[in-house]
Amino acid sequence: MPGVGEMEAAAAELNAQQAVGAVANALEKLVARNDLVTAATIAEEGGGKGRGVAAFRGLRRPAISIEKYMERIHSYSLCSPACFVVAFVYVDRAVHRRPDLLVGSLNVHRLMLTSVMVASKFFDVMAQSNAFYAKVGGVSNAELNNLEIELLCLLDFNVNVSSHEFESYLSHLEKEMLASKTHPNFANHSGIGGQQNYV
């Protein structure tokens, strides 16, 4: 796979706590902003399952934080820390391909579970089965199988992430995390420029 070895080298010093923390930080800011926008829309549409973007929406907000949820996924699946950064890339790609996909508290857990699973299948030497991820993530195997198909369609089956793209996203996530620690009320709502899309 082109770029995988280079990406592994770029991720060599990345540990799971850093990866999960950085991705969770970015997602929590995004969810807080988008929940304000989506509250009225969800009340009008009603919750429930569907196809495409709607397939990821739950009926209610999970009690577990996204950071704790991703820590759980990592502790059981033992996927590489790079999978969390790659999963963030996938979510960002999906958002930019489908502007109607607003990442919020009703879909972020399913999006990340599915994205980490797909990233692990593509980038890790040993990946767990869908049934295993479903059990860890608290969804049925049939639902996760469906979510995987929906995500791959949202991504137009483009799951490759170059080492340059990986490093660019990792740098962005690290900067966002540092900005949050330095200025807790500061949230950078724009990307860092260039060709990259950031959620």
Q: Which of 42-46, 116-120, 181-185, 194-198 has the lowest mean pLDDT?
A: 194-198
pLDDT, tens only, 34-78: 888 776 555 444 444 566 678 999 988 999 999 999 999 999 998
CATH 1.10.472.10 corresponds to the domain 14-178: yes
Farthest-apart Cα atoms in the chain, separation: 47
The predicted structure's pLDDT at residue 46: 46
Burial of 163 (0-12, 13-18, 19+ CB in 10 A): middle
Domain positions in the chain are 14-178
Residue 49: the pLDDT is: 56
Confidence of residue 4 (pLDDT cuts 50, 70, 90): low
What is the rounded distance in angstroms from the CA atom of residue 106 to the CA atom of residue 126?
A: 30
User: For 73-107, b where at least 16 C-beta lie within 10 A, e where not — what string?
Assistant: bbeebebbbbbbbbbbbbbbbbbeeeeebbbbbbb
pLDDT of residue 15: 75
Where does the pLDDT of residue 108 fall: very low under 50, low under 70, confident under 90, or very high at 90 and above?
A: very high
Q: What gap in Å lies between CA 91 and CA 112, rounded to an integer?
A: 8
